[in-house]
Structure 1
Amino acid sequence: MRKKTNKRQIAYDVIRSRIVDGVYVPGQRIIIDQIAKEVGSSHIPVREAIHQLESEQFIEYKPNVGAIIRGINDDLYKETLHVLALLEGYATALSCNYMTHDGIEKLKEYNQEMKESLTSFDLEKIGQLNRQFHNYIYSFCPNKLLLSNIQQLLERLDTVRKSEFTFYPKRTPKSIQEHDQLIELLSEGKDLQKIEATARQHKLNTLQAFIDQE
């Protein structure tokens, strides 16, 4: 049983990493024979891995086709951002009690780099710094299951390469200002409900930017 579980995990890791890294693209069919040969297993562990990825909405089954990589349509994209707003808001609030003075200074550095990148309109770098900014906040969050769920949702968005700063450049200056507000609230560390609400609204503003440009 343990060996079977290991093979399933290996197959899961192989398929998932290729989805996240963009090796497998939306609509591409998963060839079970090929994966089984690669991981040195029978079809059963591969099918179990695919079922798990299906439950995580990375894969879907289509009649007469089989398992294919699932794309993210507009509705699913909006739903994912909405859920992320809830989870990220809570994670930011939980991080507050564990945030250090050095942590606050690091967040200021990230946001300053974003401001400097904005002058050259380097949206790709701004997107990377934005992810680093929020991930750094979450590094202080004690709830690892919560962080795992956030990461899964972010990786699902990454499979279609929908960078919020690439698609909504007009929002970038406002987003950086909202970071300043979050830094101030985290440094004060007094009102966790306000921190959660502010972080949640920060993500919802990205959702609204997407809706406005439809």
Structure 2
Amino acid sequence: MNKKQKAYNYMKSKIIEGLYVPGQRIVINQLVKELETSAIPIREAVRQLEAEGLIEYQDNIGPVVTPIDESQYIETLTVLAILEGYATALSKDHLPAQELSNLKNINHDMMLALDEFDFTEFGALNRKFHDKIYQFCPNKHLVDTVRETSRKLDSIRVTGSTFHPKRAQSSIEEHERIIELLNQKVDFEMIEHEVRKHKMNTVAAYKNQKERTSNTNRFYF
């Protein structure tokens, strides 16, 4: 792994995990010390993260973690619900039988992460669960679009220090329902509807939470 990639991975993980909060300034000199490297690969990594929407430049400040755009979060998650529902439905006839066991194992690991209150691991496993399904989608352009939208969602994700066990538990149960439907080989429309509803439940949960509190929190879907 070269120095630029190392710096990129380091900063991105800090942002995704919420250790670098929205609006926080990225201090190049501090990263030079932490990563024991020169400023050049760090600046290159910052430019890459800027291209992905995770970092933005502000006048008289420099690079900062991109501030949260809540309306864009909801809109992007809604688009992802439509795309992922369709991609999953297309995947159903191409999904090897043994993959259902893998999905069950991932969902079990999500439960363990929830028990440990490990929201970072929970989020990673959630992404793995869905990607594991639609990687078998025959429409590769659609898969690329789903992944691009998912990355965009990461760049505008709603971060915070509060984990939501109730929504997380519901998400696991909804995953079980999706696995069951895939195993039963139900029709296209039913799979598409279930996955779309699964995503939209997160939108509804987020909106409900915002009505009860002014705090910005993390949700899983």
Partner of residue 97, structure 2: 101
What is the SS of the residue equivalent to 2:117?
A: helix
**Which residue number in structure 1 is paired with residue 66 of structure 2?**
70
Deviation at 1:41, TM superposition (A): 6.0
Residues of 2 paired with 1:75 and 1:162: CA distance?
20
Alignment of 1:30-45 (within 5 A): 30-32=26-28, 39-40=37-38, 42=40
Flag the 1:14–1:177 CA change in 2: closer, same or farther, 3 A. closer
Contact 1:21 1:159 in 2 (8 A): no
Contact 2:53-2:152 at 8 Å conserved across structures: no
Aligned identity (percent) is 41
Distance 2:110 2:12 in 1: 30
CA distance in 2, matches of 1:13, 1:178: 31
**Does the C-alpha gap of structure 1 residues 60 and 114 become closer, same or farther in structure 2, counting only changes over 3 Å?**
closer
Shift of 1:92: 1.8
- Contact 1:88 1:200 (8 Å CA) reproduced: yes
Using the alignment, how far apart are the partners of 1:160 and 1:87 within structure 2?
A: 23
Residue from 115, 123, 129 that aligns with 1:122: 115
TM-score normalised by the chain length of structure 2: 0.65
Number of residue pairs matched by the alignment: 201
Greater radius of gyration (CA): 1
Correspondence list, 1:33-182, <5 A: 39-40=37-38, 42=40, 46=43, 49-108=45-104, 111=107, 122=115, 124=117, 128=122, 130-141=126-137, 143=140, 145-146=144-145, 148-149=147-148, 151-153=150-152, 155-156=154-155, 160-161=159-160, 166-167=163-164, 169=166, 171=167, 174-182=170-178
Deviation at 1:34, TM superposition (A): 5.7
Aligned to 1:3: none
Structure 1-normalised TM-score?
0.67
Q: Give the partner amino acid of 2:164.
A: F
Where 1:213 maps in the other structure, the secondary structure is helix
Give the CA deviation at 1:35: 5.5
| Gapped regions of structure 2 (runs ≥ 5) | 211-221
Cα RMSD (Å): 4.0
Could you tell me whether the CA contact under 8 Å between 1:30 and 1:68 is conserved in 2?
A: yes
